[in-house]
Structure 1
């Protein structure tokens, strides 16, 4: 149960921030957002506020922000439609009813002759006296069809009406917010737990090791090796690795007293290399410093971004197989293991997942944010957009391929963890 709650909170937060990025920049560009959804598939909860419906859906495999003018969003009234209309104080249509079940005071009825609910914003048709009339449609008009209400979206409120830059930023903002979320999680870890100082302090001396035999103690702070100053654990570790079977002189600070400790690292095999080892373990001391916590957040976000890109490089080069990939089931099992090691490790895991989602969405593949940005790049270069039907077909094929990949990866996870 605890794992399920942790998974829902982590995955839900990551998806929420991703979609929040799309949502905020869509609003900034003046685009009407019809739905803000967490999850996919059937709706289990919904709430409408203003012109946007906020929903939670059954399948925890993502989310979306549905913007006016995308895909099949356009509202069209075909000639011959019989509909009811309501006029506001300016004699503009503010309600359009496509069924007879809902009535308004002073409702008028029209048989549509022609209309434009996007640019010119009008409906022309025959009233009950067979007289041809024309009414202007209000910018905030609502269409009611079989009990479902939809705001009419003037063309300047639609996604496609915006500049390439505005559309690109709206799409890019999703992955961007994943990196922002990661930064704030790492920042929070630094503020609450502390920032590693990476000081070369010996945490544990292993019994019967060269360090133990030479007299090194837990808590010794190494200040010099062979007379050369040492300030970080990385420097200490590198010096030892490069000196197998070579006598070294360590200067350590033990309770304020400087002590000289000579020892010879033993030679061990690490991969294809011979390296030195003295037999000590290390856990970096932590320091609570707000300024360093900010730097820690930025540094960790950058380092994990670099690592994930490196991993993607191995996938492209063929050194990584599809069996090594994990889907929601694999992420759930990993979350279960991480949750057992404490809340800070769980926060660290959430930050890594957020970076991973941001990077994966930026890949130039159809149906992903990166694929859409690629089409915007083509539009900027060509000076005109790619044909909508062709782009839609590419994205549709991409979605199908991604769904197949999701099924394969999920099946691999099920076999790996349950059989």
Structure 2
């Protein structure tokens, strides 16, 4: 059952991405011939608003087929007013951006729902103090709960960590220890550590680790709005950084996952309740938005680059160039999908 839910969630994310393109295209008067969830052979379809809405056999994406726009045949253009290729470049860019933006907006909605439901957060309680560290010198102990830093209230471990990482100046901590309150001063020291990509970095640290205690955050509507925005931004930044690290070789190719991994993780999240499912759905939605913005022909980002080229040089790229670049983009994407599927199968066999 969880796998069915996972497939439905993935299809819903794809649907909203394509819906973004569809709404923007219709807004600018472009005739949308087909709205498809999946590729390949048509399984079921119906006609509504003069568009054929269909479900296709291969659930690895989706597409909207607009009049005058066909990646497989760039020469299949139309001079009609309701054609995609007769629209101004900036209008086409808006249509292309609408899909990824729909994914970011959907992720924001998921994070907002999580915020209203009371998300779990790591408490600012010290679980370990490193020997000979600034924290030990300052008198911090295991079990201390940090209430404020420089007079600013601290509610989560992430807030405490962010303040420490961004300062080399002495920090004034208000700490709860048992039934007593203590005021301590600690000065971060530049130290080496590993980031999430296993790179060695140097940053201010004081030598403490969290206890692992968690608590439920109770957020007002205004705080929930801010939480949703912050989480959407953080997830987007993480995906961008991951792509960058993959391109530069910091993240090995073995770490790439395919649709099997996506569905499997989403299915696992389903078993832990709606909040966990919303969290992973939001992350995947952001993933779809970011990846589609990459300047790879065949993706939205590639087509945006074609239109930016036209805006700059006042001339559209040749049909032959668009066709060859798009074909190369598809070969690259299919190779990437094949690598992800290979890695998925390899992990399953281990």
Q: Under a length normalisation based on structure 1, what TM-score does the superposition of the two structures give?
A: 0.67
CA distance in 1, matches of 2:67, 2:46: 18
> Is the 8 Å Cα contact of residues 109 and 228 (structure 2) preserved in structure 1?
yes
Aligned counterparts of 1:68 and 1:339: Cα–Cα separation in 2: 39
Determine if contact 2:69/2:84 at 8 Å carries over to the other structure: yes
How far does residue 408 in structure 1 lie from its aligned partner after superposition? 2.5
Distance across 1 between alignment mates of 2:193 and 2:142: 24
Q: What is residue 131 of structure 2 aligned with on the other side?
A: none
SS of 1:281 mapped into structure 2 = coil
* Residue in structure 2 matched with residue 36 of structure 1 by the alignment: 35
Aligned twin of 1:231: 153
- Provide the secondary structure at the position in 2 that maps to 1:47: strand
Q: Please report how far the alpha carbon of residue 221 of structure 1 lies from its aligned counterpart in structure 2 after TM superposition.
A: 5.2
Residue 276 (structure 2) pairs with residue 345 (structure 1): yes
Deviation at 1:238, TM superposition (A): 7.5
CA distance in 2, matches of 1:354, 1:231: 32
Q: In the alignment, which residue of structure 2 is the partner of 1:383?
A: 314
Q: Which structure's residues are more often strand, by fraction?
A: 1
Counting matched residue pairs gives 320
Unpaired runs of at least 5, structure 1: 77-116, 120-154, 242-247
Cα distance in 1 for partners of 2:298, 2:74 equals 20
Matched, 1:252 2:183: no
- Unmatched 5+ residue regions in structure 2? 129-134, 166-171, 195-199
- Deviations for 1:203-233, whole angstroms, at most 9, x for unmatched residues? x979xxx99xx9987xx854368xx646214
Partners of 1:278 and 1:403 in 2: CA distance: 43
Which of 88, 92, 113 does residue 188 from structure 1 map onto?
A: 113
In 1, the alpha carbon distance for the partners of 2:338 and 2:263 equals: 16
Partner in structure 1 of residue 234 of structure 2? 303
Larger Rg: 1
Indicate the residue corresponding to 2:266 in structure 1. Answer: 335
Shift of 1:252: 1.8
Cα displacement (A) at 1:390 = 2.5
Structure richer in helix, relative to its length: 2
Instruction: Render the CA deviation track for 1:307-333: whole Å, top value 9, x for unaligned.
Output: 111111211212122221111011122
Is 1:408 aligned with 2:332?
Answer: no
Of structures 1 and 2, the one with the larger relative CO (CA 8 A, separation 6+) is 2
Aligned position for 2:54: 55
What TM-score does the superposition give when structure 2 sets the normalisation length? 0.79
Q: CA RMSD in A?
A: 3.6
SS of 1:34 mapped into structure 2 = strand
Contact 1:199 1:285 in 2 (8 A): no
The residue number in structure 1 matching 2:85 is 160
